[in-house]
Amino acid sequence: MSLILETIFPRFCLNCDEEGKLICEDCLSLIEINDFVYCPFCEQPNRLLNGKGVCQKHYGKFLDGLYFATSYRNKIVKKIITQFKYEPYLKTLSPIIAFLIISHLIKTKNQAFWQGGENFLIIPTPLTSHKKRSRGYNQAEVIAGELASVLPIALNIDCLIKIKETPSQVGLSLEQRQKNIQGVFLVKNSEQIAGKKIFLVDDVFTTGATMQECARVLKLSGAKSVWGITLAREPLS
């Protein structure tokens, strides 16, 4: 069936239009993968060592750190996220996104990802049920599912929910984003996350307002730590 569908609706690279794959191998090689962890809250991210997630200037954030595979400045990455998140909603890009993220996690040499265990959870940044229905899927949930199929870490899509629809964050300042997202997330069944190290998954990290608010409610509900995982980080400056 897949062969028939690809014959009728052939795939073309989103970047160079070569027939065969949504992102061809040549274009995939143009995406530079981060070797290290950087502070997500610095305008020019500072490289971190010894397991630290944020620089000294940004200690005290609810989000303990961020793994982001690459930069949102890369035009191919931007095309991938745009086509995956907005119409025509190319859900089939999810394995490519997961591949890029896993490549980054391997390069950081953090053994926790491969050891796994009951003290770790993967949780996607939630959408409201209305937004999820209108799109057909939650892009963060799809990415989280792909990661959980590779990593020995359990996926939980039920405990963190979004209870209020919000206007788009696009074009808003950090202060406006923080106000827009305040109080819209809720944790159900907090016993499922008590004492756990949470890996919170989304597609792109911009100002961090959404992940910060998610991390706040997760920690208030007993999470030991919350680290973000995204495909890309958008420069703050």
For residues 108 and 12, membership in a common domain is answered with no
For residues 55 and 166, membership in a common domain is answered with yes
For residues 81 and 19, membership in a common domain is answered with no
For residues 91 and 167, membership in a common domain is answered with yes
For residues 23 and 102, membership in a common domain is answered with no
| pLDDT computed for residue 1 by the predictor | 42
For residues 122 and 188, membership in a common domain is answered with yes
The number of distinct structural domains making up the chain is 2
| pLDDT computed for residue 116 by the predictor | 82
User: What CATH number did the domain enclosing 58 receive?
Assistant: 3.40.50
| pLDDT computed for residue 7 by the predictor | 38
Task: State how far the Cα of 54 lies from the Cα of 47, in Å rounded to an integer.
Answer: 9
Q: Are strands 160-162 and 185-187 parallel, antiparallel or unpaired?
A: antiparallel
| pLDDT computed for residue 155 by the predictor | 97
State the number of CA atoms in the 13 A half-sphere of 34 facing the CB: 25
For residues 218 and 153, membership in a common domain is answered with yes
For residues 85 and 5, membership in a common domain is answered with no
Count the Cβ atoms, other than its own, within 10 Å of residue 30. 13
| pLDDT computed for residue 236 by the predictor | 65
For residues 93 and 16, membership in a common domain is answered with no
For residues 10 and 105, membership in a common domain is answered with no
Q: What is the pLDDT along the chain (237 residues), one digit of tens a residue?
A: 443 334 334 689 999 999 989 999 999 999 999 999 999 999 888 899 888 999 999 999 999 999 999 999 999 999 999 999 998 899 999 999 999 999 999 999 988 888 888 899 999 999 998 889 988 999 999 999 999 999 999 999 999 999 988 766 666 666 776 776 788 999 999 999 999 999 999 999 998 999 999 999 999 999 999 999 999 998 765
Residue 97: domain span: 32-233
| pLDDT computed for residue 63 by the predictor | 97
For residues 54 and 140, membership in a common domain is answered with yes
For residues 62 and 25, membership in a common domain is answered with no
